[in-house]
Each structure stands twice: as structure tokens, then as C-alpha cells.
Amino acid sequence: MNKIEHIGIAVKSIKNSNDLFEKLFGESHYKIEDVESEGVKTSFFKVGENKIELLEATNEKSPIAKFIDKKGEGIHHIAFDVDDIEKEIKRLKKEGFMVLNEKPKKGADNKLVAFLHPKSTNGVLIELCQERINKE
Ligand code: ZN
């Protein structure tokens, strides 16, 4: 793994939280993106070299809706940048981690992503992400 790519924060309202985080960072978000397959709306901030992703549920079945029901708003996942996501999934499976989606899927911000089950990572939802080279 190369570095932390971003930190994901579950919020009830992107609109309200954009205002809040704009005040916090002194910088406005640089994009909003819907990821329909995941039932989320995302908003991205840059803080120096780092990125923060806000996530709002767009339907009741969204993993973000379930997360907020259980735990309330807060840090939802940590995403790590990888060069070869398929190779990394294989490596981590071999090490005994539970991979939630063994086939990488399209995430926000032009990434291929896969998640590790928090049960296998001390309660931390880990996202692997690889920059997609071919934009469709
Ligand atoms: Zn993420």
C-alpha cells in the first residue's frame, strides 16, 4: 500500500456538512459525485496533500444509512492507495482478511475500489483504491 488516499466521513447531510467542513478547512469542496451503485452521494475536500470524503446516503438501504443508524455520524473508512488492486486483494485474502468485494468495483473519484470487512481489521473499514487509467 502506498499511502492514505482519503478518509471517509459519514454525514446525514452533505449540504450542511459541506458548510461545516468548509469553515474547518478554510477551503471549499472541489467536487460532488453520486455513486448510485453504493447509494451514496460524496463530496471531496483537499487538505494539503490529503483528501477527505464526505458520504451521505441516497436511500435507506445504503451502507451509509445503516452505519449512521448504528453509530451516528463520524469516521466511516480509511482508504489506501494501491498500484495493483487485484494483486493486493489476493495478498490480503491469503493473509486472512475478509474482502467484501473480491471483484474491484467503480468507486467515486475515478477509482477502482474494494473493501475489507471491519470484523477482520479491528473494527476499521478499509478501502483499497487504485486510480483508473482508462476513463470511460
Ligand atoms: Zn472512500
Q: How many angstroms is it from 136 CA to the middle of ligand 1?
A: 20
pLDDT for 109 = 86
pLDDT at position 124 is 96
- For ligand 1, the distance from its centroid to the CA atom of residue 109, given in whole angstroms, is 9
Q: What is the pLDDT of residue 12?
A: 98
HSE of 25 in the Cβ direction (CA atoms, 13 Å)?
A: 19
The alpha carbon of 79 and the centre of ligand 1 are apart by a number of angstroms equal to 6
Q: What is the mean pLDDT of each run of 10 residues along the chain (136 residues)?
A: 96 97 96 92 96 97 96 97 97 97 90 96 97 70
Q: How far is the CA of 53 from the centre of ligand 1 (A)?
A: 6
118 Cα distance to chain centroid: 13
What's the pTM? 0.93
Cα(129)–Cα(108) distance, integer angstroms: 10
Q: Are 53 and 6 in contact (CB under 8 A)?
A: yes
Q: How far is the CA of 95 from the centre of ligand 1 (A)?
A: 23
